Amino acid sequence: MAKTKKAAVTKGSMKPAAATKAAAGKAGAGKEEGGLKRKLGLRGAAPWAARHAAKHAAEARARAAEPPLPGSARATIRTPVDAEDIKQRVRDLHAALAQIKTFRKSLAKTFFDIGVVLKDIQTRRLYEAKHFPSFESFCEREIDLGKTTSMRLVRVATLFQKEGALELGMDRVFTAITAIDTIGEPSAPRIPPPPTSTTSLPLRPPGR
């Protein structure tokens, strides 16, 4: 009889433990289901986060569409009106510099082409895209030929035909440009020659 009662007590004491395990299993399953539901949101966030983000994005688009108030922070950081034109001018300038770099490899045959590219940069004022105050300063800083040679090449493209310039050669063309530029300049004042020497007369004492 004692053994039977002891066995019954043991079985009765095991029932609460089994119930606890079953409850823990249900809780774990509930957590797993809850975890699956949370993963359905935006990057694991709650479902209301997506609606909240969409609402704020719509408000930001509406604010961006309105003109900024004078003196506000948005007025100082807004995109300039001619932003696309500035980007295009920068692209054109970089393309022109790449052409000059390519032509530079055979200067004796392509000096006229370099002059044409430099003349286009000067005419369209593309150097202003890199905030250079003048074309001369741009040539001095960006063109490895130097300011003087660059300006002469622009003059070559302005005054000569390509066939004639190539036939004469760069050195002779530069000499011709120097002669052309000095035609209208006033000549330097000539120093009169010293008088011809005369035979020295014998000195007489004063009073005679």
CA-angle at 121, arms to 107 and 96, nearest 5°: 55
Give the mean pLDDT of the chain: 74
At 37 the pLDDT is 47
Percent of the chain with pLDDT over 70: 58
Rounded to whole angstroms, the Cα distance separating 102 from 91 reads: 17
In the numeric block, which tokens belong to residue 110?
């392509």
Q: Give the Å distances, CA to CA, from 72 to 2, 61, 77, 181, 182.
A: 92, 17, 9, 55, 57
pLDDT in tens, 169-182: 999 999 998 888 88
The whole-angstrom separation of Cα 150 and Cα 159 is 14
pLDDT in tens, 2-45: 455 554 444 444 445 444 555 555 555 444 444 444 444 445 56
- pLDDT tier at 54, thresholds 50, 70, 90: confident
Q: Is 118 left (phi over 0), alpha (psi -120 to 50) or beta?
A: alpha
Rounded to the nearest 10 degrees, the angle between the axes of helix 107-124 and helix 83-103 is 160
Which pLDDT band holds residue 130 (cuts at 50, 70, 90)? confident
**Count of other CB atoms within 10 angstroms of residue 77:** 8
- Domain-by-domain residue ranges, the chain? 83-181
